[in-house]
Copies of this chain bind each other. A is one copy, B any other.
Amino acid sequence: MTHKIAILGASGYTGAELVRLIATHPSMEIVALSGDRKAGMAMAEVFPHLRHLDLPNLVKIEEIDFSGVDLAFCALPHATSQSVISQLPTTLKIVDLSADFRLRDPAAYEKWYGKPHSALEMQKEAVYGLTEFYREEIKQARLVAGTGCNAATGQYALSPLVEAGVIDLDEILIDLKAAVSGAGRSLKENLLHAELSEGYHAYAAGGTHRHLGEFDQEFSKLAGRPVQVQFTPHLIPANRGILATVYVRGDAAVVHQTLANKYEGETFIEVLPMGQLPSTKHIRGSNFVHIGVITDRIEGRVIVVAALDNLTKGSSGQALQNANLMLGEPEETGLMLAPVFP
């Protein structure tokens, strides 16, 4: 059986990544692609790398007949996403890649995104899309909220540890390095090649990055009490990949074993042998996460490093993994592509 798929907001990087992944998916067919400012164009004009595929042209969302659609990926900007999704048929399954349905608490949404949520009912209904932690809920969900790409990376390193109570919850620090595609295809001076290449710097430092809302929500839930982490992202001169260097306190062997146990049997999560650390180079273009653990020279301090591809496991790959679950397909279908190296 072939599932009919729509992608809303297909002219951005996460939209293109969805098309790339679905291109070899045996039981999905893309029947509609939207792109407001580029409506009327062929995908090959917007993304020449997809030229070999037989795809529908980009249209405006209101032109799509959703009656023939089984599932829609929504890759729109936040705020836009909630207003679009609230107008879609209530029978349509939706995987949202924006930030709009990640936070369950309306006050938290308003705090981090600067205005009240306009679709509170749907916000309540949405399931947080970190697959390995919400698998059963996702299978039953109508609306799944894709996680932040930085938020996913930090959680893969930390969630099992917070849940198991094997680290000091008041001493968690995430120093994260993110490639530029996470910022999307937007025309900003700091995303120009001449501005970014051969340079790197921190951004949204000091506890101001919006993905902190997700960390607070998820870690506090797992711990059963408020948890606040320190989080400093950096922009790195590369196109894909996030590396989270996470500093915790506990016993390194216990930390490593806790992660290994939690992810045993998980197709996409690889816990490296104790003392080995990952590189973003080794997960590029794939849905895999590599996690390493090393002990520090200072007793009781442990470093956990996690790497994933922000466009794949950090957004579009995760979205497809969740869509597979929602549609009753094997979770890994279309996602077993090996990383592209070098």
Shortest CB-to-CB span from A247 to chain B, Å, is 6
Cβ contact within 8 Å between B188 and A187: yes
Cβ contact within 8 Å between A277 and B202: yes
A52-B201 contact given A188-B187, A230-B247, CB 8 Å threshold = no
Convert A142-163 into 0s and 1s, putting 1 for each residue whose CB lies closer than 8 angstroms to a CB of B.
0000000000000000000000
Q: How many identical chains are in the complex?
A: 4
Cβ contact within 8 Å between B245 and A232: yes
Cβ contact within 8 Å between A282 and B23: no
| Total A residues in contact with B, Cβ cutoff 8 Å | 85
The contact of A51 among B240, B267, B290, by CB within 8 Å, is B290
Shortest CB-to-CB span from A303 to chain B, Å, is 6
Interfacial chain B residues near A141, Cβ < 8 Å: none
Residue A92 at the chain B interface, CB threshold 8 Å: no
**What is the CA–CA distance of A331 and B286 in the complex, to the nearest angstrom?**
24
Convert A208-243 into 0s and 1s, putting 1 for each residue whose CB lies closer than 8 angstroms to a CB of B.
100010000000000000001010101011111101
Cβ contact within 8 Å between B230 and A301: yes
Residue A39 at the chain B interface, CB threshold 8 Å: no
Residue A198 at the chain B interface, CB threshold 8 Å: yes
Interfacial chain B residues near A191, Cβ < 8 Å: 192-194
Convert A236-280 into 0s and 1s, putting 1 for each residue whose CB lies closer than 8 angstroms to a CB of B.
111111010101000000000000000000011010100101111
Cβ contact within 8 Å between B239 and A194: yes
Q: Which of A13-21, A63-71, A120-128, A317-325 contacts B (4 or more CB under 8 A)?
A: A13-21
Cβ contact within 8 Å between B342 and A240: yes
Closest to A21 in B: B338
Cβ contact within 8 Å between B200 and A197: no
Residue A31 at the chain B interface, CB threshold 8 Å: no
Residue A79 at the chain B interface, CB threshold 8 Å: no
Residue A29 at the chain B interface, CB threshold 8 Å: no
Residue A339 at the chain B interface, CB threshold 8 Å: yes
Interfacial chain B residues near A52, Cβ < 8 Å: 267-268, 270, 288, 338
Q: Which of A81-89, A97-105, A174-182 contacts B (4 or more CB under 8 A)?
A: A174-182
Closest to A20 in B: B338
Name which of A189, A240, A295, A297 has the most chain B CB atoms within 10 A of its CB. A297
A297-B207 contact given A49-B341, A193-B192, CB 8 Å threshold = yes
A339-B192 contact given A236-B200, A298-B207, CB 8 Å threshold = no
**What is the CA–CA distance of A226 and B228 in the complex, to the nearest angstrom?**
30
Interfacial chain B residues near A133, Cβ < 8 Å: none
**What is the CA–CA distance of A111 and B68 in the complex, to the nearest angstrom?**
53
Residue A110 at the chain B interface, CB threshold 8 Å: no
Convert A277-315 into 0s and 1s, putting 1 for each residue whose CB lies closer than 8 angstroms to a CB of B.
111111111101010001111100101010100000000
Give A contacts to B, CB under 8 Å. 13, 16, 19-20, 23-24, 47-53, 173, 175, 177, 180-181, 185, 187-189, 191-202, 205-208, 212, 228, 230, 232, 234, 236-241, 243, 245, 247, 267-268, 270, 272, 275, 277-286, 288, 290, 294-298, 301, 303, 305, 307, 336-342
